[in-house]
Structure 1
Amino acid sequence: MKKYTIKDIADLAGVSKGTVDRVIHKRGKVSKKALESVTKLLEEINYQPNLIARNLKNNKVYRICILIPDPEVDDYWSPCIHGINSVINELNAFGIHIETVLFNSKSTKSFLNANENVQKLSPDAVLMVPFFYKETLIALEDYHKLGIIVSTINNRIESEVVKGFVGQDLHQSGRVAAKLMQSTTQKKGDIVIIHIDEKYKNAIHMQEKERGFREYYKQFNHFENTIITLKLKRTDFEISLINFLNEHENLAGLCVTTSKGYQVADVLSKINAAKVSLIGYDLVNENVTHLKNGVIDFLIHQNPKQQAYLGLKSLAEHLLFEKELPNEILLPIDIINSENVKPFMRD
């Protein structure tokens, strides 16, 4: 396919190179006749501007901040750093500056402070984990006022301010967890949805998973047992869980909605509890250990590395090359057991 220059197009349309440049870049005044002539020709030759060359010529440096929980506090987020570094390496030659800002996933104050620090940097775009629902809405309003583009990963927030989302359908993820539970329970009994270490009312990701889980079981009229919600805090975790298990002897399965499934598995192993089905999330090392030794039956892999990579790259390419920013990129809901875990650990 022939590559047309601005001069080629100007000659074919019978106008000046300046007129063609103004039409392509949609700037300056152009007569109606010239606009129609050039536009028609561009369509006929399927003209694609060299956006990379244009960006380098403009010498514009774009800044993106990515706001994620501190991996030192919660290891689930460690793979995000690898995803971020991959984008930095790929786009290092272009005018893009990517800065990672961390917050404590156990502190709403830390989250708000981190957002304030990002706003002071005046980036062109922000990729954030909307970890706390109420505080996220406050931050989004501030970004909107500043004209900063915002995309999210991991948790979906319904807001016109958010231009893109990368992650799983968490409602469907809850249904998948329920299907796995139904498939692995070896006896009739109650099922427990366990939320660990977060305020449920301010954690959309927990709510969506539980909603999907419960919805799945509603379709079975023959399910005679109870689905129980249990919220546990790290301060008295072990005692609270043991007391709960002692008070509820008729349990068939446990589902942990976060990456902390290993904490439940630790207690079950310690007290030598009778076998119950245990479904968890995420490939943190402690979870994988219990997956291999059979205490955890299945893990759902949320792929935080790919979330960070795709979310960041989409924003960067939107700024650099004017690519359309996708409204959502839904990742597959990967089901991991002891037999197929090894390849995923190389992600």
Structure 2
Amino acid sequence: MAKPDKKITIKDIALLAGVSIGTVDRVIHNRGEVSEKTRVKILRITETLNYQPDVLASTLASKKNVRFATIMPKVDKESSFWKAPLSGIEKAIKEIEHYGITNKTYFFSVFEKNSFLEVAQKALDENPDGILIAPSVQEEALQFANICDERKIPYAFFNSNIAELNQITYVGQDSIQSGIVGAKLMDYCLGTNCEILVVSIYSFLKNNTHIQNRKQGFIKYYETKSGAKKQLHSLEINSFNDGDIYSELRKTLKEKPNIKGIFVTNSRVFHVARFIESEKLSHINLIGYDLTTENIPYLEKGTISFLINQKPIEQSYSGLIALFNKIVLKKDVPKEILLPIDIVTRENLMYYE
């Protein structure tokens, strides 16, 4: 009998069952012909000894390279947000590359309607074993997920989610809850009987579920809070151009001069911060998302009161590790890996990367 502290091997099971190693291998991997009596005997022994196949050893022995693909927005000149997930991808691959894991990243443009599907097709042409997707454009990502299902390619989402699909997991924040947190912060900042503006700056808003969910969460907080005497207004700006954004903000604030707080539903909060400084509107409390190089200076100066940090490095890192655990290690992974909703101020900024 094998010692209790020794790792159980196929050879140990073969000796106990009185059969060849090849017979045990066929039973464990359910291939080839083995008599029912022998199969039951071997399975009983594996259960008694709590035998666990060494998946990593099998992967190394097979010399099979496992290829992942990542599909995400490319970094644009106006916002550095998507630089951070690249660091998470690099970190994950460094940890698992010695198991024969590789990753190729494909970038799509959020400004071009067909870019996602064109890039996704290039990824499919390489026949990856698993795909990590940032589904920033929901309709196109939904089409692609259906194709992955048909081809039996496992996929995971990060940064934003599409519910009720067959992704192995989603890594990111609870978008509705983060909107609620944003509203709670705004409530701390403002007195009673003042007005708040919720601003969404986007390229394809209808395709950005997480932005809609943040807005929904923000509004929900005030709908359910007893005694909240704050009037909410909504502004959707379909442009990343400062001139367009300033024009819309100027018009809205002229019509509603009692606005004392602005909540921006994504990392584009720096556009609004620039406007506040240029118009000398220091009485307005501003809250938004993400520790980007564009946002940080305005947080340090106090133009932005709070930033909600999404942990973009951890999103992509955990997404690739989840693919590795599911595809290579054959482990179950949670349907959602929800990350903390970090509140960053200029007083605790130095503790973040």
| TM-score range relative to shorter protein | over 0.9
Structure 2 counterpart of 1:291 = 299
CA distance in 1, matches of 2:262, 2:348: 22
Query: Are 1:134 and 2:142 counterparts?
Result: no
Cα distance, 1:30 vs structure 2: 2.7
Structure 1 counterpart of 2:319 = 311
Structure 1 counterpart of 2:334 = 326
Query: Which SS does the other structure have where 1:91 is aligned?
Result: helix
**Residue 123 and residue 86 in structure 1: after superposition, are their counterparts in 2 closer, same or farther (change >3 A)?**
same
Structure 2 counterpart of 1:234 = 240
Structure 1 counterpart of 2:25 = 21
Query: Are 1:222 and 2:227 counterparts?
Result: yes
Q: C-alpha deviations, 1:131-185, integer Å up to 9, x for none?
A: 1111111111222222211110011102333221111111111111111111111
* Equivalent AA in structure 2 for residue 212 of structure 1: G
| Of 251, 259, 267, the match for 1:243 | 251
Cα distance, 1:203 vs structure 2: 1.2
* Equivalent AA in structure 2 for residue 119 of structure 1: L
CA distance in 2, matches of 1:322, 1:234: 43
Query: Which SS does the other structure have where 1:67 is aligned?
Result: strand
Cα distance, 1:274 vs structure 2: 4.3
Query: Which SS does the other structure have where 2:32 is aligned?
Result: coil
Query: Are 1:52 and 2:56 counterparts?
Result: yes
Kindly report which structure 2 residues correspond to 1:33-112, keeping only aligned pairs within 5 A, or say none.
33-73=37-77, 74-112=79-117
The answer to whether the 8 Å contact 2:203/2:240 transfers is: no
CA distance in 2, matches of 1:206, 1:5: 51
TM normalised by structure 2 equals 0.93
The answer to whether the 8 Å contact 1:152/1:164 transfers is: yes
The answer to whether the 8 Å contact 1:66/1:101 transfers is: yes
Structure 2 counterpart of 1:263 = 271
CA distance in 2, matches of 1:195, 1:225: 19
Structure 2 counterpart of 1:192 = 197
The count of corresponding residues between Structure 1 and Structure 2 is 345
CA distance in 1, matches of 2:33, 2:186: 65
Query: Are 1:277 and 2:285 counterparts?
Result: yes
| Of 166, 170, 181, the match for 1:165 | 170
TM normalised by structure 1 equals 0.95
Deviates most, 318-327 or 289-298: 318-327
* Equivalent AA in structure 1 for residue 19 of structure 2: V
CA distance in 2, matches of 1:311, 1:139: 18
Cα distance, 1:230 vs structure 2: 0.5
**Residue 274 and residue 56 in structure 1: after superposition, are their counterparts in 2 closer, same or farther (change >3 A)?**
closer
Cα distance, 1:33 vs structure 2: 2.2
* Equivalent AA in structure 2 for residue 258 of structure 1: N
Structure 2 counterpart of 1:143 = 148
Structure 2 counterpart of 1:2 = 6
Query: Where in structure 1 are there 5+ consecutive unaligned residues?
Result: none
Cα distance, 1:187 vs structure 2: 5.2
CA distance in 2, matches of 1:334, 1:308: 17
* Equivalent AA in structure 1 for residue 27 of structure 2: V
Alignment RMSD (CA, Å): 1.5
CA distance in 2, matches of 1:194, 1:217: 16
Query: Which SS does the other structure have where 2:327 is aligned?
Result: helix
Structure 2 counterpart of 1:11 = 15
Deviates most, 167-176 or 12-21: 12-21
Query: Which SS does the other structure have where 1:75 is aligned?
Result: coil
Query: Which SS does the other structure have where 2:71 is aligned?
Result: strand
The answer to whether the 8 Å contact 2:80/2:294 transfers is: no
Deviates most, 87-96 or 173-182: 87-96
* Equivalent AA in structure 2 for residue 199 of structure 1: F
The answer to whether the 8 Å contact 2:200/2:266 transfers is: yes
The answer to whether the 8 Å contact 1:191/1:252 transfers is: yes
Cα distance, 1:64 vs structure 2: 0.7
The answer to whether the 8 Å contact 1:173/1:209 transfers is: yes
Query: Which SS does the other structure have where 1:284 is aligned?
Result: coil
Deviates most, 325-334 or 182-191: 182-191
Deviates most, 202-211 or 104-113: 104-113
Query: Where in structure 2 are there 5+ consecutive unaligned residues?
Result: none
Cα distance, 1:68 vs structure 2: 0.8
Query: Which SS does the other structure have where 2:98 is aligned?
Result: coil
Deviates most, 145-154 or 70-79: 70-79
CA distance in 2, matches of 1:303, 1:99: 22
The percentage of counterpart residues that share the same residue type is 36
Q: C-alpha deviations, 1:233-265, integer Å up to 9, x for none?
A: 234111221221122111121100110111101
| Of 332, 339, 349, the match for 1:341 | 349
CA distance in 2, matches of 1:129, 1:216: 27
* Equivalent AA in structure 2 for residue 285 of structure 1: T
